[in-house]
Amino acid sequence: MSHIPDHGLPLVQLKEQRRELVVALQRHVGPISGWQLLQIATVQQAISAFEEVIFDLDAGTETSIMDDAEANIVWLRKFA
C-alpha cells in the first residue's frame, strides 16, 4: 500500500484519517457500531466535498485559460 505524504494539507490529512479508520475497522472483532460507520462516512463526505471544489476550481482555471487564449487571438487578428 502506498503512503500518502503529509504536507499539512487538509485533503491529505482527511484521506489519512479515513485510511486509519478503515484499517482499525478491518482489525476490529465483533459487530461494527453505527458510530464507527458514521465516522468513516463523515470523513468520506468531507473528502468528496474537497475534491468537488478542486474539480470546480480546475474547470474554472481551464475555462479562464481558454478565454485568455481566445482574447489573444482576437487581439492578434485586429492588428495583423
Reduce the DSSP state of residue 71 to 3 states and report it.
helix
pLDDT of residue 54: 85
Residue 14 CB-density burial (10 A; 0-12 exposed, 13-18 middle, 19+ buried): buried
Q: What is the pLDDT along the chain (80 residues), one digit of tens a residue?
A: 456 555 668 899 999 999 999 999 999 999 989 999 999 999 999 999 999 988 888 777 666 666 666 766 666 676 65
Q: What is the pTM of this model?
A: 0.65
